[in-house]
Amino acid sequence: MKLKGSYIAVVAAAAIVIAFPAFLGAYPLNVARSVMTYMALAISWDMLLRSGQISFGIAGLFGLGSYASALAVLRGGMNPFASVLFAAAFAALVAFALGFAILRLRAMYFSITTLALMEIFRIVMQNLHDFSGGPEGVVLPKIIFDGYSPALYWLCLGGLFLTIGVSWYFEKSKMHLALTAIRNDETSARSNGVNIFKYLLIAFVATSALQGMMGAIQVQSYGFTTPDTAFDANFLMLPMAMALLGGIHSTIGPMAGAVLLGIASEWLKLKIPYGHLVVYGVIIILVILFMPQGLFGLARKAMRNRRKAGANNE
């Protein structure tokens, strides 16, 4: 019964967000797209984090997806929609190849290597002048769906739904057990027969594909990309902050964090035009200092305490 209730709520929530364009204008839809993009990146970052591996490569793969999609359209004459799928596949392929080298690294060595990858991708795109447009980047001849706001919104929502779906699969399948076992104690996980490299590779390739796909959706929605915009550190820092705010090691935590921070950012901007970024930064610092488990962790703890108190009363 409990499970059924959950499914009904998920379907209802999905129906509401799908119907947003019916009652929201172009501006809120634009803000929603931005929130959804960061949300998908936050979830995908968290998916790999569930194995204990902290990746700083989100912006690199996001940027790689942007360029793969833009160049597929410009140089290869590919259909823009197909280029989104191509970008996801390309990011996955790159991650698969790199995975053999970098997934043998752990802790800060892995993190630093993924951060370096972002910089390498940026430098490569910046220096392939004739192919990638160099520092000035490339401008697409037209925006996907001719810039029609509801269609752009649904495209981004599609990318988000796919990310949530994969994340939930990670939570509900044996991937969850494997990744949690790796995070808790790699040695005992291996001695229990968990193929550590295989699961890490699957997680790295899947999350890279999702990040590349979101980069492609972004470039097709705005019609241009440059090394500075595609590999912007904001696509790394904000998703991490959102996941930490909402609560890590879950799907719903990064979702909550993205909605809260995304809307807070826009609201603060309108209310405090000069200085909103300072307030926004202070909020993030305070939350991370005083709520290290995030909102979802806090809620979980409160529920556990209530349950314990109820049991004691009985």
* Residues found near another protein in the complex (CB under 8 A): 2, 5-6, 8-10, 12-13, 16-17, 20, 24-35, 37, 126, 134-137, 139, 143, 147, 149, 218, 222-224, 226-229, 232, 234, 252, 255-256, 259-260, 263, 266-267, 269-270, 273-274, 276-277, 296, 299, 303
In the chain, % helix, strand, coil (3-state, to 5) comes to 80, 0, 15
Question: Looking at beta carbons only, is 193 or 275 nearer to another protein?
Answer: 275
Minimum CB distance to another protein, residue 74 (Å): 13
Question: Looking at beta carbons only, is 108 or 278 nearer to another protein?
Answer: 278
Question: Looking at beta carbons only, is 136 or 185 nearer to another protein?
Answer: 136
Specify the pairing of strand 138-139 against strand 224-225: antiparallel
User: How large is the C-alpha radius of gyration of the chain?
Assistant: 20
Minimum CB distance to another protein, residue 185 (Å): 28
**Angle in degrees, CA 295, 301, 302, rounded to 5:** 90
Residues 6+ apart with CB under 8 A from 166: 47, 206, 210
Minimum CB distance to another protein, residue 177 (Å): 20
Question: Looking at beta carbons only, is 198 or 301 nearer to another protein?
Answer: 301
Question: Looking at beta carbons only, is 9 or 285 nearer to another protein?
Answer: 9
Q: What is the DSSP string of 156-224?
A: HHHHHHHHHHHHHHHHHSHHHHHHHHHHH-HHHHHHTT--HHHHHHHHHHHHHHHHHHHHHHHHHHHSE
Minimum CB distance to another protein, residue 309 (Å): 16
Question: Looking at beta carbons only, is 63 or 99 nearer to another protein?
Answer: 63
Minimum CB distance to another protein, residue 7 (Å): 9
Minimum CB distance to another protein, residue 169 (Å): 16
Q: Give the C-alpha separation, 13 to 20, whole Å.
A: 11
CA nearest 156: which of 171, 144, 146? 144
